[in-house]
Structure 1
Amino acid sequence: MAQKKAEYGSGPLFRAAGVVYGVMMAGVLLVLANMLLVLAPLMVSLAGGSTLLAAGVVAAALVPVGPSLVAAAYAFNRLLAGEETGVFRDFLRGYRSNVRQALAVWLPYLAVMAVVVLNLLLLPGTFDAGNPGLAAARAGLLVLGLLVATAGVTAMLLVARFAFRVRDIHRLSLYCLGAQKRVSLGNAGILFISAFLLTATTAGLLIFIAGPVMFLICLNSRPLLTFIEAKFTLREPALT
């Protein structure tokens, strides 16, 4: 009987169901940890049409995103490694143990993103065929924003996995953009598609895709974490 129970609990269908459940649970926790962001469209509508006030509301709502991404990355990394003690428990542990460093790393990226978005909002909204510089400026800001977002997410993955100093996390997150091009392009693609879906449909979609998007980023970033561990961490010599 014990053998049958063990086989049932280790089968591929059981593991797949566990992953699906873990992704759903982490998605719920991400939404709960970012209720300000979920409610941001309502708060923006109450801002009375002020662009600067709306940008400030969204920027403030994005502050808790960093620690919640670290917590989700911590839980998903343990889930992918088969070391989880329950996604709910791992998420809370990852949040509590990393919240200060996550904020210290996340806020500079958020500040740069706020500047990029503000410049995009201040550009004329109408397309002028006689002013190609305007289109080039808009495209350049979009690419810059995507690069910053990709580096920021990479930094959150590093915070969840390693105990590096804040400045080293910043350096490594930028370094990985070039050193791990495939992973970085994959994460940028995931972020771009997610942002496109949110802008093309409704921001409420974030409630349903937050968990799967972060899981895909963690899954895609496993080679990056292995690379960082092999290149920038010390391993104890094997006993002979």
Structure 2
Amino acid sequence: MAAAAGAPREFGDGVLGRITARVYWYVVVGALVALGCVPTLVLLALLDRSTGNALLVPLCLVPAAPFLAAGLFALHARAGADEPVPGRTFVRGLRLSWLDALRLWVPATAVLGVVLTSVVHRETAGISVPYAVVLGLVGLGVLLWAVQALVLASLFSFRARDVARLSVYYLGRRPLVAVGLLALVVVAGGVVWVAGEPVLALVAAAWLAFLLRVAQPVLDDVRARFVA
């Protein structure tokens, strides 16, 4: 799509003006996403870091889902925006996608919680090592599915069950995209491991931008096949 017509008028017509407009958009969206992640950060901070809370840790991600979806919507809309209004675009994305984001992420995080609990309490539950590995792979698949579903739910007005089916379909149909999603999940986990959850929230806009880039082949195929 063409570059935003309002951005050059607001920030200037030159290269510096376009760069300033882009930085402004990312800074505002990043601040709003980080603000939306505050409830998740508070919940994680209140949890005792023990294996007994393994079920609750994934569920703490649920409040952040609508804001991540809104961030994806706002970043994706930047190129076609008539004016540099990232805040207004973010709010619109939140209004359009919050319910679908929750419908998808609540069951996904519940499954992740059960899987994580089973793995960390493997000996107590009498689960063998091979079965624990299988559970771990299932949990990873659910996590990748949840990320893919969040992208589709934030950008398309499909029913939640259709988004769920499409997410499963494209994980198998587009293996390179699945590998890219896995890489982003690993990066997010690395940031949390090294610097903590607040730092990941602060760089969430950049992470979402890479997520959009990785998912672009899927988005293009969905538009070509399912959007009139």
Tell me the TM-score normalized by structure 2: 0.82
Contact 2:69–2:97 (8 Å) recurs in 1: yes
User: Equivalents in 2 of 1:68, 1:154: separation in Å?
Assistant: 15
Aligned to 1:233: 227
Alignment of 1:180 with 2:184, yes or no, is no
Contact 1:37–1:58 (8 Å) recurs in 2: no
Aligned to 2:4: none
User: 1:1-240 maps to which residues of 2 (within 5 A)?
Assistant: 9-45=12-48, 51-52=51-52, 54-55=53-54, 57-82=56-81, 85-123=84-122, 134=129, 136-234=130-228
How far residue 50 of structure 1 moved from its aligned partner, in angstroms, is 5.7
**Secondary structure of the structure 1 residue equivalent to 2:203:** helix
Letter paired with 1:65: A
User: Equivalents in 2 of 1:68, 1:89: separation in Å?
Assistant: 13
Contact 2:30–2:203 (8 Å) recurs in 1: yes
Letter paired with 1:226: D
**Residue 93 to residue 202, structure 1, CA distance change in 2 (3 Å):** same
Contact 1:43–1:57 (8 Å) recurs in 2: no
Aligned to 1:130: none
**Residue 28 to residue 7, structure 1, CA distance change in 2 (3 Å):** closer
User: Equivalents in 1 of 2:76, 2:50: separation in Å?
Assistant: 41
Instruction: From the CA coordinates, give the structure whose radius of gyration is larger.
Output: 1
**Residue 165 to residue 41, structure 1, CA distance change in 2 (3 Å):** closer
User: Equivalents in 2 of 1:33, 1:63: separation in Å?
Assistant: 11
CA deviation digits over 1:114-159, x for unaligned, max 9?
Answer: 22222232135xxxxxxxx62x455444433332222111111111
User: Equivalents in 1 of 2:66, 2:44: separation in Å?
Assistant: 21
User: Equivalents in 1 of 2:45, 2:157: separation in Å?
Assistant: 38
Contact 1:30–1:69 (8 Å) recurs in 2: yes
User: Equivalents in 1 of 2:26, 2:137: separation in Å?
Assistant: 29
User: Equivalents in 1 of 2:182, 2:92: separation in Å?
Assistant: 27
How far residue 82 of structure 1 moved from its aligned partner, in angstroms, is 4.8
How far residue 170 of structure 1 moved from its aligned partner, in angstroms, is 0.3
Tell me the TM-score normalized by structure 1: 0.79
**Residue 145 to residue 18, structure 1, CA distance change in 2 (3 Å):** farther
- Alpha-carbon RMSD: 2.6
**Secondary structure of the structure 1 residue equivalent to 2:224:** helix
How far residue 72 of structure 1 moved from its aligned partner, in angstroms, is 0.8
CA deviation digits over 1:172-217, x for unaligned, max 9?
Answer: 0111112222222112211112112312442332232212111110
Q: Which runs of 5+ in 2 are unaligned?
A: 1-7
Contact 2:26–2:205 (8 Å) recurs in 1: yes
How far residue 83 of structure 1 moved from its aligned partner, in angstroms, is 5.3
